[in-house]
Amino acid sequence: MNSDKDIELVNLCQSGDITAFDSLVRRHQDRIYRLVYKMLGGAYESDDVAQDVFLKAYKSIKDFRCQSSFSTWLTQITVNQCINHLKNRDRFKFLSFGLSSKRRSVEPQMMVERNEKRERVYQAVNSLPIKQKTVIILHYFENYNCEEMAKVLKCSVGTVKSRLYYARMELKEKLKSFLEDGEWTENNIIAGDV
């Protein structure tokens, strides 16, 4: 995402140009929707929460001081909206990350087993404490590095690394009985390539 174009649009929006905010929404809506969908684990709530993210951004745009990229700022709002939504929700829905599996010619039994493993991984991720769940999703499903996550989550890189470490350990423990010896590698388990 070209941050210079974002800053130009932010400046126009701060000057009262509503169409500039529409352009910002169009530039970021797919990414934000994907993140909300993954954080909440379902499409039926994702539309509303994504809309709330942009509403909050619109109301707060005058306070944006360009100390970080617009993309980082919008991701912070998104993560906070999702966390608030999850805290206010009575139950946690089963995570469905909407990942399409790679098309391979596999036998139906192998496909069923792979899908079962994937579902178990999603259940395990969904059961993590929200701070650990957030770093797992940002890192493995949105490809954020530790420095980017620290900016989004407004914490130190060390804190992010610690959360990732403990989340991985907890996932490994939760999935231990399900996985065969030597089958655990964070890349194939977390990424859903099992």
Residues 80-117: tens digit of each pLDDT:
999 888 877 644 444 445 444 444 444 676 667 767 77
Q: Is the pLDDT of residue 21 over 90?
A: yes
Q: Rounded distance, CA 128 to CA 92, Å? A: 11
Task: Quickly state the pLDDT bin for 4 (edges 50, 70, 90).
Answer: confident
- Tell the residue number behind the tokens 């059961």, with chain if given: 127
Residue 111 has what pLDDT? 66
DSSP codes joined into one string, 152-190: HHTS-HHHHHHHHHHHHHHHHHHHTTTSPTT---HHHHH
Q: Is the pLDDT of residue 2 over 70?
A: no
Residue 164 has what pLDDT? 94
Residue 117 has what pLDDT? 75
Residue 147 has what pLDDT? 94
Query: What class, spelled out in words, does domain 3-88 have in CATH?
Result: mainly alpha
Q: Is the pLDDT of residue 35 over 80?
A: yes
Task: Decide yes or no: CATH 1.10.10.10 for domain 108-190.
Answer: yes
| 66, 10 contact by CB (below 8 A) | yes
Give the tens place of pLDDT for each residue, 131-186. Answer: 999 999 899 888 899 999 999 999 999 999 999 999 999 988 888 877 665 555 55
Compute CA distances 133 → 70, 139, 143, 164, 168, whole Å: 24, 10, 14, 9, 10
Q: Rounded distance, CA 73 to CA 75, Å? A: 5
Q: Whole-angstrom distance between the N-terminal and C-terminal Cα of the chain?
A: 31
3-class secondary structure per residue, 42-100: CHHHHHHHHHHHHHHHHHHHHHCCCCCCHHHHHHHHHHHHHHHHHHHCCCCCCCCCCCC
Q: Which sequence spans correspond to the domains of the chain?
A: 3-88, 108-190
Q: Rounded distance, CA 100 to CA 157, Å? A: 31
Residue 45 has what pLDDT? 83
Enter the pTM of the model: 0.65
Residue 91 has what pLDDT? 44
Q: Which residue has the higher pLDDT, 5 or 116?
A: 5
Residue 118 has what pLDDT? 74
Mean pLDDT of 13-34: 92
| 96, 41 contact by CB (below 8 A) | yes
Rg (CA), the chain: 18
| 121, 190 contact by CB (below 8 A) | yes
Give the tens place of pLDDT for each residue, 38-90. Answer: 888 776 788 889 999 999 999 999 989 888 889 999 999 999 999 888 877 64
| Phi, psi torsion values for 108, nearest 5 degrees | -55, -40
